[in-house]
Amino acid sequence: MNKASRLFWPTLVTPKNAVVKPTEQLSRSQKLLTELGLVKAGSNGTYQIMPIAQRTIDKCIQLVQRNMQAAGGQKISLPVLTPAQLWKKTGRLDGDISEFYMVRDRSGKQFLMSPTHEEAVTAMLASAAPISYRQLPQRLYQIGPKFRDELKSRFGLMRAKEFLMKDMYSFDVSLDAARQTYATVTAAYERFFRQLELPFVRVEAASGIMGGSQSHEYHFISPVGEDTLLQCSNCSYAGNTEVFGNEADAPSTCPSCQSAQLSRVRGVEVAHTFLLGDKYSKPLGATFLNTSGKPEPLVMGCFGIGITRVIAAALEVLSTEQQLRWPKLLAPYDVCVIGPKAGSKEQASAERIEHELLNQLAQICGAEQLLHDERKELTIGKRLLDAQRLGHPLTIVVGAKATQLEAPKLELHTSGSEKLELEVAEVLQLVTQHEQHKQQLLQSQLEETNSEQQQEQKRFGHVH
């Protein structure tokens, strides 16, 4: 079980009479994560992740992996350093490379600290030739650090120079098969975002330096978003104004249905998908052997999710100015238990109830999902304030009312709601309902995946 007294949790404390210098505008998520000691700035644009926030990152990774594996993904790891020569072959070093970190080894060979890995993974497939059409499709993904020399890093984890990303690369025998992979993986993306229970929008997007014939972005709607999105209330059209060159060139009527019911909102991009075709496979010689035994270029797609950006953007959308709010599946802990203050007259009797409660909760949600705030030198009020600011989905207080001879009560604080005074059995029932809801979110993935796999089997006549 996790104990609050053992957590490395370096909160920022501002002296009462301190003069606070004005700083650059912070996003809500950046301000709270920093003040609460969950994230610390390592340098301009880089961040150190403390244990509480690391739990959320690990949960996000696990959820992403569940969905990628359900979509036929296989996990790999590629080196951070990619030979610049590969990027020269695809022509991507010919454009604006000001955001790339370039390094040289002692022999003078140049490398990129990769912002993305299309060249690296395609060269890997090329070196594995010959690949038979029977081995396709291949859907390979990794989760690791990416690097981008942002001119102006801001909003904390939402726009950093080093960030954590899931990137998948797909290889198919034809454009039609690649479109089917695109549909399968993007369905997994939408399922992932639904599991977070956050409103999101999928929009048509510009392919930019990545290239390809089709591209979509996934956004959380937020005032701090750096993209302007068009949404039509008359049809299902949604697009990034970048599709039209820039915001000034974007139309005032819907490009799909020509309706004037077109609104503009700000969005935080959290994922991006591309249908690449043979943009990388041709110059790098990544081929497969077709049914006639002749080589053909592999047809590719790529699919990215910003792990750290998803977390920061979710907090930006859900949190208040003073308190964090987490997606249920990503909260660092499910339940926080606060016991009586040391030296209080009810301490002995309340602690007996507290320990029994902890045992019962461990049976319901698992000891690893419990945080026991046993810092009993602090008042219940101080510990409760910490718990509310950290945004635990459920916080249970075992105080004086728990020791009443008639109708003993616990305090239950749910994230964003008023406190409830309930009997132990009622509290345990609400915790059980919380856990059941989490399981339902995960179960929906299993049901959708089974349906998608059946459709793929019908389409291709075998399991990919």
| Predicted confidence (pLDDT) per residue in 415-438, tens digit | 888 899 999 999 999 999 999 999
Q: 53 lies in a domain?
A: yes
Closest by CA to 425, choosing from 404, 406, 410, 403, is 410
Q: Which DSSP symbol is given to 156?
A: G
Within a domain: residue 460?
Answer: no
Q: Which of 318, 345, 380 is the last residue of a domain?
A: 318
Angle (CA) 366-399-357 rounded to 5° is 25
Number of domains in the chain: 2
Report if residue 289 sits inside a domain: yes
**Which residues fall within 8 angstroms of residue 104, CB to CB, at 6 or more apart?**
110, 111
**Do 149 and 204 share a domain, yes or no?**
yes
Q: What is the mean pLDDT of residues 235-252?
A: 90
CA distance 265 to 263: 7
CATH code for position 381: 3.40.50.800
Q: What is the pLDDT of residue 454?
A: 65
In this structure, how many other beta carbons lie within 10 angstroms of the beta carbon of residue 335?
Answer: 25
Compute how many other C-beta atoms are within 10 angstroms of the C-beta atom of residue 115: 17
User: CATH number, domain at 222?
Assistant: 3.30.930.10
- What pLDDT, on a 0 to 100 scale, did the predictor assign at position 330? 98
Distance CA 378, CA 376 (A): 5
Query: CB burial class (10 A; 0-12, 13-18, 19+) of residue 379?
Result: middle
In a domain, 190, yes or no: yes
Q: Looking at the domain assignment, is residue 7 inside a domain?
A: no
Give residue-wise pLDDT tens across range 115-159: 999 999 999 999 997 899 999 999 999 999 999 998 777 778 888
Whether residues 307 and 398 share a domain: the answer is: no
Express each pLDDT in 45-87 by its tens digit. 899 999 999 999 999 999 999 999 999 999 999 999 999 999 9
Instruction: Give the count of alpha carbons within 13 A of 12, CB side only.
Output: 14
256 and 115 part of one domain: yes
- Within this chain, do residues 126 and 233 fall inside the same structural domain, yes or no? yes
- Examine the domain organization and report whether 283 and 374 are in the same domain: no
% the chain with pLDDT above 90: 79
Question: Are both 57 and 115 inside the same structural domain?
Answer: yes
Residues 312, 389 within the same domain: no
Mean pLDDT of the 241-270 span: 92
Beta bridge partners of 83: 111
150 in the same domain as 273: yes
Please report whether residue 4 resides in a domain: no
Q: Give pLDDT, residue 464.
A: 36
Same domain, 359 and 410: yes
Dump pLDDT digits (tens) for 80-109: 999 999 999 999 998 888 899 999 999 999
Per-residue pLDDT reduced to its tens digit, 157-202:
888 999 999 999 999 999 999 999 999 999 999 999 999 999 999 9
pLDDT score, position 13: 67
Same domain, 358 and 394: yes
* Residues 311 and 352 reside in one and the same domain: no
Does residue 135 form part of some domain? Answer: yes
Per the domain annotation, does 33 fall within a domain?
no
- Average pLDDT value for the chain: 92
Other C-beta atoms within 10 Å of 94: how many?
Answer: 9
Residue 79's pLDDT is what? 97
Q: Span 404-413, mean pLDDT?
A: 92
Residues 309 and 346 in one domain: no
Distance, CA of 112 to CA of 332 (rounded, Å): 34
Q: Which domain holds residue 230?
A: 49-318
In this predicted structure, the answer to whether residue 459 has a pLDDT above a threshold of 60 is: no
> Does residue 249 have a pLDDT over 50?
yes
Q: Report the pLDDT value the prediction gives residue 412, as an integer from 0 to 100.
A: 97
Q: Domain boundary at 318, 342, 368, which?
A: 318
| Alpha-carbon gap, residue 263 to 162, rounded angstroms | 33
Query: Which residue among 318, 353, 370 closes a domain?
Result: 318
DSSP state of 263: E
Cβ within 8 Å of residue 433, ≥6 positions away: none
pLDDT value at residue 445 = 66
Separation CA 141–CA 151 (nearest Å): 28
Query: Six-digit token pair at 408?
Result: 């003993």
Q: Which is more confident, 353 or 211?
A: 353
Q: Are 270 and 309 in contact (CB under 8 A)?
A: yes
